[in-house]
Structure 1
Amino acid sequence: MVWGPESFVGGHPTLDFTNTVGGSTRERVEWLVAYADLVVWARAAEVVDDDEAAALSALAERRPDEAAQALAAVHRQRDALHRWLAAAVTGGEVDDADRARVADDVAGAHRAARLAPDPTRGPAWSVTVDDAGLALPGRRLALATAALLAGEERTRIGLCGRCSWLFLDPSPSRRRRWCSMATCGNRAKAARHHARASGERGGS
């Protein structure tokens, strides 16, 4: 998987993380199939740097069972987060188990993190490979989730009406409907055009 700009339309690492799999309104496609996929994505998303990515890859090779467990935990973290945020955005029923999972992930990340000496320069909370091992990507993403939920950006989270990806809507009207006009927006327009054309042929 090559992670190009079209893969990062969420506007925040937390939302891009939830978008690494298909949602409930489209065919489910899993892109983080192996721990190596998680490392490649995390590097592309700038969740980890080159040295950290290399350290995680080497650690996963030495401890494949632990890597598989860490990947499974990331899947659960991501899926609960997506369901919880999607329910909040749409006004749907929130699953208490999903909300508890998000809270536990954030709390666990803070327990593993250290407060930065100077929080005015970079992230206030820091967690390293030495602190978290193979759980580092998940821990970093949980800290990013906490930061998102603590700020005003949380009020701008939107849900794509076609693919269910999450994104930040910076527009004043907050009427953005698609994760990207280049993908879902154009597909929706094409579907409407096809439906109109089919209706016209059927009525002639």
Structure 2
Amino acid sequence: MSFTWTPHRFAGGALALDVANSVVMRSDPQRRVDRYADASALEEFAHAANAHCAERDLAGGLVSVVPERRSAFIALREAIDGHFRATAAGVGTPERMAILLEAIAGTLRGAGHDPASLETATAQSALRLSASAEPDRLKICPNCGWLFIDRSRNRSRAWCDMAVCGNRAKASRHYYRRREESRA
């Protein structure tokens, strides 16, 4: 399957969430797609994050994960997803936080402290996000299941990206409404 790292794929609002969102349709085993299954996609992700990631304090240009560290990075991604998905659902636990902190510590020990490393930047992003005073701003898109930060003033943002998931949801409602009207 061919894809590109477009701005929509960085709708999470934080690098850590964008990394977690690299698994599409995570909750549906039949349709689940791991964008990092292709090793070159991880390198492309690092380059695209420089242009599209909401966290602009990235060290001038992220560099990809070295092949020897790929499995540790995937473990970090899964710990990020597990912790923040549970937090967004209101069922976060100290155990999930411990798993996340262990993954972050392992990443920082293994990757060194190179701020240009995608691993280091992702770990730091997860730390900033976990220290956030407003965990209620963390949401799960009802259309695609991605994690995102709701930065709207009244905390009413419903979709990760209005132009993609919001339009799909509205189009679906319109389709079913018209179908029901035609049956009546």
With normalisation by structure 1, the TM-score equals 0.71
Cross-structure match for 1:64:
none
Distance, in Å, in 1 between the alignment partners of 2:135 and 2:111 is 23
Given that 1:156 and 1:169 are in contact with CA atoms closer than 8 Å, whether structure 2 keeps it comes out as yes
Question: How many residues matched?
Answer: 173
Q: Which amino acid aligns with 2:114?
A: V
Matches within 5 A, 1:33-182: 33-46=37-50, 52-53=63-64, 67=67, 70-92=69-91, 94=93, 96=95, 98-111=96-109, 126-127=113-114, 136-152=117-133, 154-182=135-163
Of all paired residues, the percent bearing the same amino acid is 31
Pick the structure with more helix per residue: 1
What do the CA deviations read for 1:30-87 (whole angstroms, capped 9, x no partner)? 111233221210121136766845xx6xxx5xxxxxx2x5323322321232132112
Q: Which amino acid aligns with 2:14?
A: H
Distance, in Å, in 2 between the alignment partners of 1:21 and 1:110 is 23
Q: What is the Cα-based RMSD across aligned positions, in Å?
A: 2.8
Query: Which of structure 1's runs of 4+ aligned residues deviate more than 6 A?
Result: none
SS at match of 1:189: helix
SS at match of 2:148: strand
Given that 2:13 and 2:148 are in contact with CA atoms closer than 8 Å, whether structure 1 keeps it comes out as yes
Distance 1:93 1:105, change over 3 A: closer
With normalisation by structure 2, the TM-score equals 0.78
Distance, in Å, in 2 between the alignment partners of 1:198 and 1:95 is 47
Given that 2:16 and 2:125 are in contact with CA atoms closer than 8 Å, whether structure 1 keeps it comes out as yes
SS at match of 1:32: helix
Distance 1:154 1:92, change over 3 A: closer
Q: Which amino acid aligns with 2:175?
A: H
